[in-house]
Structure 1
Amino acid sequence: MDRFNAMRIFTRIVELESFSKAAEDMQIPAATATYTIKQLEARLGVRLLQRTTRHVSPTLDGQAYYQRCVRILADVEETEAGFGNSGVAPRGKLRVDLQGTLAQHYVLPRLKEFFARYPDLELEIGLGDRLVDLVRDGVDCVLRVGELRDSSMVGRRVASLQQVTCASAAYFERHGTPTTLDELTTQGHRAVNFFSSSSGKLFPFDFSVDGATRSIALPGSVSVSSAEAYLACCANDLGLVQLPRYHVASELQRGAFREVLQAWRPKPMQVSVLYPQQRQLSPRVRVFVDWITDVMTAAS
């Protein structure tokens, strides 16, 4: 039995909580995965997995073995990457999940540079804003905006993006231009509101006042949960929006949108790369995180 291959199969079963999903992910027959684990358990003399009708979970011995397998496989990958004709040359598939607009503006246009540097790597890129379970979904790292909350992940902040409050020129012609925060409410201004697709919560407008954050909720005729819809509604004169400047840089430059309340701009939006602790030693993850850090740092 190939011990390293057995470790890889075992770790994927634990992460995906399924023999069939792990087999599909690794492109092997499900029977092969089942037979490999039976052999592995027989050789070790312990039961590694508990099987139910709904999912598979590790036993106490299985959890301990899983943690060691992850470290061993990362060490093997790092060691092998250090040899060869071209020096450190990570290879294989890397699964990443990128926030959609960040990917389109900054990452995707520069992928040619990444592959020129690492031709033996293959990227599987998911785009969106949904929360992913990195371990269960088999994702190696994600690029996200906002504050870091998941302490089980390793996070590296890679950019700080200026935010602006703006609306279309036609909107200001109709409703007037606010010059103070109080005028947002006293003059009856409207917003294109943004809500969380997971919780349904509306996000207020945030402003920095003497180092503190002041949040203001504005009424509006429409609420959306995607960046594309947010911009489209703003372009159609439906209200004020608040978002990172890069989203509207071209509109601001040509005068289609106008920024207001610059003296109270929100705090910059943080951009971070997150990845599971057990994958931090992987050469594939390391080189991608280093590259995307360079990309985002240059852009911010």
Structure 2
Amino acid sequence: MDQFLAVRAFTAVVEAGSFVKAANALDLPRNTVTKLVQALEAHLHVKLLNRTTRRVSTTNDGTAYYERMARLIDEWQEADLALASAQSNPRGRLRVDMGATIATVLVIPALPEFQRRYPDLQIDIGVSDRPVDLLGDRVDCVLRSGTVTDPSLIARHIGDMPFVTTATPGYLRKHGVPNHPSDLENGHLLVRYFFAGTGRQLPIELVRGNERVKVKARHFVGINDTNAMLAAGLAGLGVMHSPAFIAEQHIASGLLVPLLRDWKAASVPLSIVYAPNRHLSTRVRVFVDWMVELIRERGLGR
């Protein structure tokens, strides 16, 4: 016996006053409704309904049982409606973490559209290039560049970031324009990015056809924050090797000049990372879907 369906059949009979009307309301055959109520009575070992050829009424036990079950069904329906509403109109707090420049250049300028779609969400953004502990820091998801190696996490690859090499016009007037990656090792300085926590420098490897060059030029300043790296590049402190989206608006304005344009660096994967959960919350799901859309609009999507 499907006990929940049997209870619904019983309450429908009580409310409709007949098995025929209850069957129509439930879109079930009359015989099915009758068998469900009989099975429920057998399960409870009580008689719930008095049946005559003209009318159906509840017994004393049936009245008490109906009052309790009707309240439970009402609560179930309210919960069902609330969950359905949450799916289309998520609400509550969403905690995400991402790198500094990804936040300031990509995500935050586009947030008004996310707010328009989901006005009842509150989004708290942790901005850091340092690795974050999703469970310990109670973070819902993380937007990260690079390869995710932690097997205990789920990483959804949403795009790839191409890199560009740039410098300011003032820097180039002083140090000259490099025509080959090896030129960077003679009379030039880099703005170096190193990873927080490990101190490992971001490698620079440029490819043109079958030629591959690893750049090992010296640097005046090394920085573990992408916003600060951009500031150093714009200050003319060296040649900057950075994701293209970081530099593109400054290239368009003339503040930065692209270098070695026929040389390419490998793109870096961009992923949204979250803890394994069979039932991903609606808040996280809508943010992930929006980020996929945003990355695609910026030409970085897969």
User: Where does residue 183 of structure 2 map in the other structure?
Assistant: 183
Alignment RMSD, CA only?
2.4
Q: 1:255: Cα distance to partner?
A: 2.4
Deviations 1:23-71 (A, max 9, x none): xxxxxxxxxxxxxxxxxxxxxxxxxxxxxxxxxxxxxxxxxxxxxxxxx
TM-score (norm 2): 0.66
Q: 1:237: Cα distance to partner?
A: 2.3
* Structure whose CA Rg is larger: 2
Matched, 1:141 2:146: no
Deviations 1:69-114 (A, max 9, x none): xxxxxxxxx9666424x86332222211122211212221222222
Rate the CA distance shift 1:87–1:145 in 2: closer, same or farther, 3 A.
closer
Bigger drift between 151-160 and 110-119 goes to: 110-119
Matches of 2:82 and 2:142 in 1, distance apart? 23
CA contact (8 A) 1:81 1:283 kept: no
CA contact (8 A) 1:192 1:241 kept: yes
Written as runs of structure 1 = structure 2, the 5 A alignment for 1:150-229 is 150-185=150-185, 187-210=186-209, 214-229=213-228
SS state at 1:83 partner: helix
User: Where does residue 241 of structure 2 map in the other structure?
Assistant: 242
Rate the CA distance shift 1:173–1:289 in 2: closer, same or farther, 3 A.
same
> For residue 177 of structure 2, what is the amino acid of its counterpart?
T
SS state at 1:95 partner: strand
Q: For this pair of structures, how many residues does the alignment match?
A: 221
> Could you list the runs of 5+ residues in structure 1 that have no partner in the other structure?
1-77
CA contact (8 A) 2:100 2:225 kept: no
Matches of 2:80 and 2:275 in 1, distance apart? 20
Matched, 1:271 2:270: yes
Q: Percent identity?
A: 34
> For residue 103 of structure 1, what is the amino acid of its counterpart?
A
CA contact (8 A) 2:141 2:273 kept: yes
TM-score (norm 1): 0.67
Matches of 1:212 and 1:283 in 2, distance apart? 48
Rate the CA distance shift 1:87–1:172 in 2: closer, same or farther, 3 A.
closer
Matches of 2:203 and 2:225 in 1, distance apart? 16
Matches of 1:193 and 1:199 in 2, distance apart? 14
Deviations 1:101-152 (A, max 9, x none): 1121222122222232223322222111111110111111011111222222
